Amino acid sequence: MVYLTRRYRFSASHRLHNDALTAEENARVYGKCNNLYGHGHNYVLEVTLAGPIDPETGMVYDLAALDRAVEEEVLDRFDHTNLNLDVENFRQRVPTTENVCIEAFNLVRARLTGGRAAGAPNPAHLAHLARVRVEETNSNSFEYEG
Amino acid sequence: MIYVTRRAEFSASHYYHNPAWSGEENRRVFGKCANPHGHGHNYTVEVTVRGEVDPKTGMVLDLKDLKKLVEKEVLDLVDHKFLNREVPVFATTIPTTENIAVEIWKWLAPKLNLGKLHRIRLYESADLYVEYYGD
């Protein structure tokens, strides 16, 4: 079993706010992240796949296929957006980086067709999504393993 | 149990080719990595050893020894080399980052006197790395 990790980047704005809480409670819980107009980050997204090395290719997964999946499912959805206003996943969910991490994991996993390496030269070859890690800043990061 | 990690760098060239396939198929699967003249990377390898702290020294193992071992068993073989042509195992094994990490494990694991090899992490670039735990 080999773990393969690829790093991507996206930039987005968000506002941490829960409609179920009062303005005062939101301000207390989320501090400056509750600012009405939002604020932004340069996020780093790390996607880790785990699987055996395909003896025909020497690879765990077709990287071009992984790049396409992550670009289409996550980066195209999240990059240069206001997560609260522009991304369906966060209409009913506070776009904390915890939730961004979980949503990114679920989006990529759904695309990897039940763990099959879609687009890999040998379709019988299996790799699965092992982890998604999101860095909100150099100091904060979040990991989700499903 | 303590985990000790030592990082080292090497630069090498490689290309991807499966001799069982036609040139066209190799180019389709491996893209620009199939160029037979090769291309290069600055690799970073992180070697993680796990073990108990020796109460006499306060250390799991002597890091100087680990540094020398990595130099002798890994860097001397691969640094500034064309992996496909100059490292025997990669004449028959495609030198993908995955396979290089597994081979580094095989070179180092039997040579460690103190502690057990826990993980090889190999960066091909800052945005791509693989990890191997020996199984």
Please give the tally of structural domains in chain B.
1
Residue A53 with chain B: CB contacts under 8 Å: 96, 98-99, 102
- Class of the CATH domain delimited by A2-144: alpha beta
Q: Does B99 touch chain A (CB under 8 A)?
A: yes
What does the mean pLDDT of chain A come to? 90
Mean pLDDT of B58-64: 93
Q: What is the pLDDT of residues A34-51, one digit of tens each?
A: 999 999 999 999 999 999
Interface-testing mutation among B30, B92, B96, B120, with chain A (most A C-beta atoms within 10 A): B96
Helix (H) or strand (E) holding A81: strand A81-82
What are the φ and ψ backbone dihedral angles of B21, each rounded to 5 degrees?
A: -110, 160
Give A3's Cβ-side CA count (13 Å radius): 16
Nearest Cβ partner of B18 from A4, A56, A62?
A: A56
CATH number for the domain that contains residue B51: 3.30.479.10
Answer yes or no: do A58 and B130 touch at CB < 8 A.
no
Residue with tokens 């630069």: B11
Helical H segments across B6-134, by residue range: 23-30, 63-70, 76-78, 83-86, 97-108
What does the mean pLDDT of chain B come to? 96
Mean pLDDT of A8-28: 95
Q: What is the pLDDT of residues B97-132, one digit of tens each?
A: 999 999 999 999 999 988 999 999 999 999 999 999
Confidence of residue A115 (pLDDT cuts 50, 70, 90): very low
Answer yes or no: do A7 and B131 touch at CB < 8 A.
no
Domain regions of chain A by residue span: 2-144
- Give the pLDDT score at A64: 87
User: Above 70 in pLDDT, residue B46?
Assistant: yes
Kindly report the nearest CA distance between residue A7 and chain B, in angstroms: 5
Amino acid at the residue B62: D
A33 is catalytic: yes
Kindly report the nearest CA distance between residue B135 and chain A, in angstroms: 6
Output the pTM of the full model: 0.88
Confidence of residue A62 (pLDDT cuts 50, 70, 90): confident
- Give the pLDDT score at A111: 86
Q: How far apart are the first and last CA of chain A?
A: 18
Q: How far apart are CA B19 and CA B84, in angstroms?
A: 12
**Residue of A56, A72, A80, A145 marked catalytic:** A80
User: Above 50 in pLDDT, residue B5?
Assistant: yes
Q: Does B119 touch chain A (CB under 8 A)?
A: no
Answer yes or no: do B127 and A8 touch at CB < 8 A.
yes
B9 is catalytic: no
Domain span at residue B64 reads 2-132
Mean pLDDT of B81-93: 96
Tokens of A139: 């100091």
- Give the pLDDT score at A65: 86
Residue with tokens 């904060």: A140
Residue B99 with chain A: CB contacts under 8 Å: 53, 58
Mean pLDDT of B39-60: 95
- Give the pLDDT score at A122: 53
Nearest Cβ partner of B129 from A1, A5, A58?
A: A5
Q: What is the ipTM of this complex?
A: 0.85
Least confident of A122-131, B57-66, B107-116: A122-131
Contacts by B66-70 with C-beta closer than 8 Å and gap 24+? B66/B4, B66/B6, B67/B6, B67/B8, B69/B108, B69/B111, B69/B112, B70/B6, B70/B8, B70/B45, B70/B108
Mean pLDDT of A97-102: 97
